[in-house]
A and B are shown apart, each in its own frame.
Chain A
Amino acid sequence: MRVILVDDEKKFITMLAKRLKFRGFEADIATSGVDAIKMATQKKYDIAVLDIKMPGISGTELKEKLALIQNELKFIFVTGHGGVMQSDCVLGPKDIYLSKPLDIDILIDSMTSCSEKF
C-alpha cells in the first residue's frame, strides 16, 4: 500500500513514515500542500494522510485538489485540534478522522479498512 503523509510538522511525519515502512508500507512525506500536489502528479498513492490545519493550503482544500489528480485516492485526516468535527463539516462520508497523538495500530487499521471498504 502506498501512502503519502502530509503535515507541516516534519519530524512527526518523518518518524511516522519510518514506522510505516518498518511495517511494510511504502510511505512518502510532504510538508506542504504544494509539495503534496507535485508528488501526486508524479506517483500514484492509495491513501493520503492529511493534517487539517496547515499553513497555505489546508488539509481539506488539499483533499479537493488531490482528488482531482487521483480520483481513487482515499483520505485520512489527522489533527491536533479538538472540536474539528463540531466546528467544520469538513469530512466526506468516506473520510476518516484521527486525533493526535496517533496510535500506529489504529492508523494502520484505518488505512486497511478504508482501502478495503471503498
Chain B
Amino acid sequence: MTDCQDDQREMKNLQFFGKINASISHELKNILAIISETTGFVDDLTQLARQGKKFDLSLLENCNQSVVEEIERGFHTIRQMNKLAHTTDMPVASADITEHLDLAVKLTKFLSFSKPVKMVSPEKSVQVETRPFLLVTTFYQLLCELFKATAGDHPLGVKIIAGNNQDATIIFSEYSFDFLPALVSEVLDDAAHLLNFKWETDKSENTITLHLLPAVNE
C-alpha cells in the first residue's frame, strides 16, 4: 500500500469508529432517557404517597422491572462496543467468522434503518486468518448498504459455509432490489485485497457471495 492509500484507509477507519460511536451513544442516551423518566415517575408516585393518596403498587414493580431491563440493554450495548474495540488488538489474527459477522449485525441494530437478519452458520467455529477490525467494518458497511436498498422488514439472509482449507464462504441473500447499489461494489472492492477475498453476485438468485481465502495479504 502507498502512503496515500494508508492515509485513506486510516481516514475510513476513523470514520467507521465515529459512526459506530455516534450510534452507540444514541442508544445509551435512549436507555438513560427511559431510566430517567422511570425514576422521575417513581418520584411522582412518592409525592402522591406523601400526600396520603393511594396508588397501585404494581406501578412501582413495573418501574423497577423497566429499569432492570434497561440496565441489561445498556450492558448488551457496552459488550458490543467492547468486542469492537478488541478487534483492533491484533492487526492480523485468526478470527471466528460467525462471531465477527454476528458483531457486525448487532452493531447495525442501533441504526434507525436496521433490518432483521437471519443468520445460518455451521455448529463448529469457522476460523480464518484475517484482519479482524477490517472484517467487521466491511460486514457492517455491506449490511448497511443492503438494508438501505431493501424495502419492508423482510429478513436479510446470511449463510456461512466452512471451507476445507481454513477458508470460508458467506452468502448474503433475500435482499429485494434488482440492481446492486454502487456503494456495495465500492465497499467490497475496497476490502477485497486486504482481506483476501473474492466476491461475486448472482442477479438471478439475488445473492452476493464472499469467498474468504486463508491468510490475508501483507
Contacts and interface: CB of A to CB of B under 8 A. Distances in A.
Given A80-B33, A102-B33, A15 B38 contact: yes
B37 A15 contact: yes
B17 interface: no
Interface in A5-24: 8-9, 11-12, 15-16, 18-19, 22
Q: How large is the interface on B (under 10, 10 to 19, 20 to 34, 35 or more residues)?
A: 20 to 34
Given A9-B34, A55-B112, A100-B32, A15 B41 contact: yes
A30 to B, nearest CB: 16
Interface in A39-85: 53-55, 58, 80-83
Interface stretch (B23-31, B158-166, B172-180, B200-208): B23-31
Contact of B30 (A12, A15, A18): A12
Chain A at the B interface: mostly helix, strand, loop or mixed? Answer: loop
A108 interface: no
Nearest to B113: A55
A100 B40 contact: no
Chain B at the A interface: mostly helix, strand, loop or mixed? Answer: helix
Contact of A19 (B22, B34, B44, B112): B44
B110 to A, nearest CB: 11
Given A22-B41, A80-B26, 20 more contacts: A11-B66, A12-B37, A15-B34, A15-B37, A15-B38, A15-B40, A15-B66, A16-B37, A19-B41, A55-B112, A55-B114, A80-B25, A80-B27, A81-B26, A81-B29, A99-B29, A101-B33, A101-B35, A101-B36, A102-B37
11 contacts: A11-B34, A11-B66, A12-B37, A15-B34, A55-B112, A80-B25, A82-B22, A101-B29, A102-B37, A104-B37, A104-B40
Interface of A: 8-9, 11-12, 15-16, 18-19, 22, 53-55, 58, 80-83, 99-102, 104
